Amino acid sequence: GLPPYDDGNIFARILRGEIPAKKVHEDDHALAFHDIAPQAPVHVLVIPKGRYVSVADFAAQASPEEIAGFWRAVAKVAKDLGLEEPGYRVLMNMGAHGGQEVPHYHVHLFGGRPLGRMVP
């Protein structure tokens, strides 16, 4: 499985303001910022503020309020960036086979062009 939460991970450092990020939204439960290596015209990461390594931890440990707040932030960011009507994609990676690199739970929000058929 995944290691326990590491407060030195890059997204924890962004949350603490130790390294900069191009923030697009912040509220009590979530922070959204542009990915440093965008794979689409819009590529934003949305992270919960709590200490969750992955979706497994988030689903098991976060409160209903945190989970609702997180997903409301995802949808709000997409809407505020003008993606709601043309549409967008939300993706998350989990663990080694999923290719997860940063051990703080996050989802990727992609948009700004037709994204094509989803493939692994």
Q: Which residues bind ligand 5GP (CB under 6 A)?
A: 10, 21, 33-37, 45, 93, 99-102
Q: Which of the following is catalytic: 29, 34, 106, 108?
A: 106
**Known catalytic membership, residue 106:** yes
Q: Are 72 and 79 in contact (CB under 8 A)?
A: no
Q: How far is CA 95 from CA 22, 91, 102, 106, in A?
A: 26, 13, 10, 12
Residues labelled as active-site residues = 106
